[in-house]
A and B are shown apart, each in its own frame.
Chain A
Amino acid sequence: MTPAVLEDPTVVPRSPERLARQPLTHVRRFDLKTRLLHIVIMVTFLGLSATGMPLLFSDAPWARVLASLFFGFKGAGYVHRFLGATLLLAVVVHVGDVLVRAFVRGEKGVLWGPTSMVPQPKDVVDFFGMLKWFVGLGPRPKIEHFAYWEKFDYWAVLWGTAIMGAAGLILWFPVLASRVLPGWMFNVALFVHGAEASLAIGFIFAVHFFNGHLRPGKFPMDLVIFTGTVSAHELEHERGAEFDRLCAARSLDELGAPAPSPALVRRGYVIGTIGLSLGLALFALIVYATVR
């Protein structure tokens, strides 16, 4: 089937020769910065989970084994704090970047609009549309640039990093923290760090994995976060509202891109497979510890 982007009259190839070689069958979705941020979050999140879970589930039979992979709780602790600081830094840099884009460079559509991460009225409509579609009472709603479940993921990471980062820093530097906080806040910090971790780990390894990768239509994984581009055909199917908007604004050509190289696709599969496997393995350990 010919990708819709090529049938669209708005597509004006910049170089006919190049287009013949590399037809612009895809649409750019994630820039390099975003994909790197996802890799950093992915690596740090997996590492933080693996090094934190021995303590969170200290009564599980695998807790000691998991800790020994990092040369005991001290080794796991060093890795945990290093990754935690890295994740915190990455998220701070990202938030700084968003703020600069919105307020310094005056980029449109960051804080509000169809491409914004900020929840829109349309998200509520989409949610009920999805429910209707689930039970067979309507067509699949046309989703915009970010779906409501993706926005939930995004804000969950920001919220989670802020909460867990703050709690983690208190636990990392308790004596310093006690200059401004009473000691019982260490209790609260440890509890919140653990509870938020349970939520985050469960959410990423079950909900995000399903919505982003494992669900029907995406299985076994969605490579867009690794390659940066999505095929125009998939965009039309998955994000009808965005596709329509881009077509109407005649801006599909601006976002057009050739299909990702086989090497990039392969790299995406390798990274995605490792990430998904490790995440599901850790999730299985939690399920085992919980139901045992």
Chain B
Amino acid sequence: MRIRIGSLIAAAWLVAGPAAAGQSSSPKPPANDDCLACHGEHVDAKQFEASTHGPMACVDCHADLAKQVDFPHAEKLAKVKCASCHDDIATKYHDSMHAWAKEKAGLIGAPACADCHGKHDIRPHVDAQSRVFRTRIPETCGSCHAGIKEQFDRGIHAAKLKVGDSRAPSCADCHTAHAIQRVDTNTSKLAVTAECGTCHAQVVDSFRRTFHGKVTEIGFTAVAQCSDCHGAHEILPAANSASKVSKAHLVETCGRCHQGANEQFVKYDPHPNPSDYTRSAVLWWANRFYWVLIPGCFGFFGLHSALWFWRGRKES
């Protein structure tokens, strides 16, 4: 990104430079020091220089001041357009729920770029001090979604994030960073299940063998997916008695869809594996049985038909 911004500035100079030379009357844009002379209290110069935009000029973002002659400038400035450099991200943002809330529904509290990334202290997401570094994302999102953060903090994923497990998911892994959608849409529901599979590959594979998994695989969400049983934010291992999939809660969890589910009912395995004898011997035997029966039948009658076809052609 740095290289790109650098080249953009260079390109701007190439175009603007000769023009500026020809017109001696055009004003010289204020340098960062000029700005900081007044705004030094508001903008921490050191923090800004350490940020990812440190090498840039104030007027690169506050572009309406680049041609300003008279200072002090008007109190109200044009909005900073992050999209002038980050247009690909801006496109994703504009299709998101956050942009819809802010721009269409008029929810002024809905976030734009700076609400998550900060202003003069923006750091890349791989920087541990960044507001959008993976372990800090819950805190950033939680500044609005406080209730959800409370739930998330009770779950196993938050616990793993807190001890620095880089594989543990943060908000953006499931919801995406910029293209955040309502979670009750078909597409986002299906995408989240696929997302669980990026870490829990075998678990999602086994889920795909079930009725639930097959129905969702062909694009319908009327049946249970990961979060319907495990919860979305406060996911806990089955061994934890607070978990929705713990022995204590299974009847209740399954019963949300299957009214009348009992202790017998919840012996169902939502993640079956026919090749795992220890998981279910009966399923293992059924698998073995059909592994003999199906090839046996097709092999036998395949050969039978082939021979018949050969003989029939010869006789006719």
Q: Which residues of A contact B (CB under 8 A)?
A: 54-56, 58-59, 63-64, 67, 72-74, 130-131, 133-136, 149, 152, 171, 174-175, 178-179, 181-188, 190-192, 195-196, 198-199, 202-203, 206-207, 210-211, 215-217
B286–A191 touching, CB < 8 Å? yes
Are B269 and A187 within 8 A (Cβ)?
A: yes
The total number of A-B Cβ pairs within 8 Å is 138
Q: Shortest CB–CB separation between residue A196 and chain B, in angstroms? A: 8
B280 nearest in chain A by CB position: A184
11 pairs from A and B in contact (CB 8 Å cutoff) = A67-B218, A174-B258, A175-B258, A179-B262, A185-B282, A188-B283, A190-B211, A203-B301, A206-B305, A211-B308, A215-B309
- The answer to whether B3 has its CB under 8 Å from any CB of chain A is no
A203 proximity list for chain B (CB < 8 A): 297-298, 301
Whether the pair A199, B280 counts as a contact (CB closer than 8 A) is no
- C-alpha spacing A211/B312, complex, angstroms: 12
Q: Which of B297-316 contact A (CB under 8 A)?
A: 297-298, 301-302, 304-305, 307-316
Q: How far is the CB of B270 from chain A (nearest CB, A)?
A: 9
Task: Give the residues in chain B near A133, CB-CB below 8 Å.
Answer: 311
B294 with A178: CB separation less than 8 A: no
B294 contacts A195, C-beta separation under 8 Å: yes
Q: Who on chain A is nearest to B307 by CB?
A: A134
Cα separation A56 to B310 with both chains bound (whole Å): 33
Q: How large is the interface on B (under 10, 10 to 19, 20 to 34, 35 or more residues)?
A: 35 or more
Nearest-Cβ distance from residue B61 to partner chain A, whole angstroms: 46
Q: Is the pair B268, A215 in contact by a Cβ cutoff of 8 Å?
A: no
Return chain A residues, CB-CB under 8 Å to B261: 175, 178
Contacts of B219 in A (CB 8 A): 64
Quick check: A217 and B280 within 8 Å, CB to CB?
A: no
Please give, as numbers and ranges, the residues of chain A lying within 8 Å of B280 by CB-CB distance: 184, 187-188
Residues of B contacting A171 with CB < 8 Å? 211
- Residues of B near any A CB (own CB < 8 A): 208-211, 213-215, 217-220, 222, 258-262, 264-269, 272, 274, 280, 282-283, 286-287, 290, 293-294, 297-298, 301-302, 304-305, 307-316
Task: Select one of A185, A196, A216 contacting B315, CB under 8 A.
Answer: A216
Is chain A's interface secondary structure helix, strand, loop, or mixed overall?
A: helix
